[in-house]
Amino acid sequence: MRKMKVSSPFGESPVFFKPETESTMTDVKNLASQGLPSGTVVMAGHQLAGRGRFPDRKWHSVPGESLAFSLLFQVKDFPPITGVIPLKAGLAVAMALEKEFGLEPEIKWPNDVFLKGRKAAGILVESREEHIFIGVGVNCGPKSYPKDLKKTAISLQEVTSRRFTPEDLLFPVLKQLKIWLSQSAESETAPPGWQEEIEKRLYAKGRTVTFLPGLSDGTGAFEAVILGIQDDGMLLLKNESWTAPRAFANGELRYTPPKKSFFAKKEKQ
């Protein structure tokens, strides 16, 4: 692991690079145990055992074609409500993609960034004692995922003709993470309206989705309309059988966009 010669938006906190690693989350946890400061970053050229928020979810990457990094922070650096961290991190990634590539990403609650209805980036947030760890993965190259994910995943190079490396995207994402994660409830310098910014980009908002509360085993799945998110990061849903909308802190939503009608296309011609 070597220290990168890059300017970090997190002050003097170091940014490390490992050509290959099992997991950058494991790496930053080890660095936290050694007393390294908030904002410390570990980026990998190739991550062998990246994973999602469910035990059976893996983050697949091809060497040199995926931006994969993790950061460590002290809990005291965050507002009391930590449930919004995955959403704010997703907003940071989305803002970076907008500013760097002119794209129109969507934020899928609670921790993914979508392009054209497919997953382009994922966020993993974990905590341990006085630390919070944030992992970020972005599909950059066209082979960043296996063929069996072709219908559900997408890479930046599939939607933009710009040539770049994962390292080129690191600082823009870190810059946005600094902006959106550093704010607290009492902050006077933080940008206002993080919730509104997420709402504008909220995947499937106003649509009927299948929602799986808790674990992703399908138990208790139901259909509901996404109304938005609360200021604590919970997802607000409406079901016809409920007397009032309900908020959920955990779960997974599934949504299949309607296919474009052949006849609708003919009518426009």
Between 247 and 215, the higher pLDDT residue: 247
pLDDT at 129: 84
Q: How confident is the model at residue 75 (pLDDT cuts 50, 70, 90)?
A: confident
Residue 24 maps to a domain: yes
Q: Are residues 59 and 104 located together in one domain of the fold?
A: yes
C-beta separation of 133 from 71 below 8 A: yes
Mean pLDDT value across the chain: 85
C-beta separation of 221 from 266 below 8 A: no
Residue 266 maps to a domain: no
Q: Are residues 108 and 228 located together in one domain of the fold?
A: no
For helices 166-181 and 85-101, what crossing angle results, to 10°?
Answer: 130
pLDDT at 98: 97
Domain stop point among 155, 175, 200: 200
Residue 56 has pLDDT above 60, yes or no: no
Q: In the chain, pLDDT over 90 holds for what percent of residues?
A: 60
pLDDT at 164: 87
Provide the whole-model pTM: 0.88
Residue 190 has pLDDT above 70, yes or no: no
C-beta separation of 27 from 69 below 8 A: no
Strand partners, 131: 74, 128
Strand partners, 74: 131
Q: Are residues 142 and 225 located together in one domain of the fold?
A: no
Residue 182 maps to a domain: yes
The total domain count for the chain is 2
Residue 264 maps to a domain: no
Lowest mean pLDDT, pick from 39-43, 81-85, 113-117, 142-146: 142-146
Residue 188 has pLDDT above 50, yes or no: no
Domain stop point among 138, 171, 200: 200
Q: Are residues 217 and 184 located together in one domain of the fold?
A: no
Q: Are residues 117 and 238 located together in one domain of the fold?
A: no
Residue 263 maps to a domain: no
Query: CA 92, 97, 102, 105 torsion: positive or negative?
Result: negative
Domain stop point among 182, 200, 218: 200
Q: Are residues 248 and 221 located together in one domain of the fold?
A: yes
Q: Are residues 195 and 104 located together in one domain of the fold?
A: yes
Instruction: Compute the average pLDDT of residues 91-117.
Output: 96
pLDDT at 137: 94
Residue 265 has pLDDT above 70, yes or no: no
Instruction: Compute the average pLDDT of residues 93-117.
Output: 96
Residue 262 maps to a domain: no
Q: Are residues 146 and 33 located together in one domain of the fold?
A: yes
Q: Are residues 117 and 247 located together in one domain of the fold?
A: no
Between 187 and 164, the higher pLDDT residue: 164
pLDDT at 111: 92
Pairing between β-strand 118-128 and β-strand 131-139 as defined by DSSP bridges: antiparallel
Cα separation, 42 vs 14, in Å, equals 9
∠159-109-20 over CA atoms, to 5°?
A: 60
Q: Are residues 184 and 217 located together in one domain of the fold?
A: no
Residue 65 has pLDDT above 90, yes or no: no
- Domain holding 194, by residue range, is 2-200
pLDDT at 187: 47
Residue 269 maps to a domain: no
Cα separation, 72 vs 40, in Å, equals 6
pLDDT at 114: 97
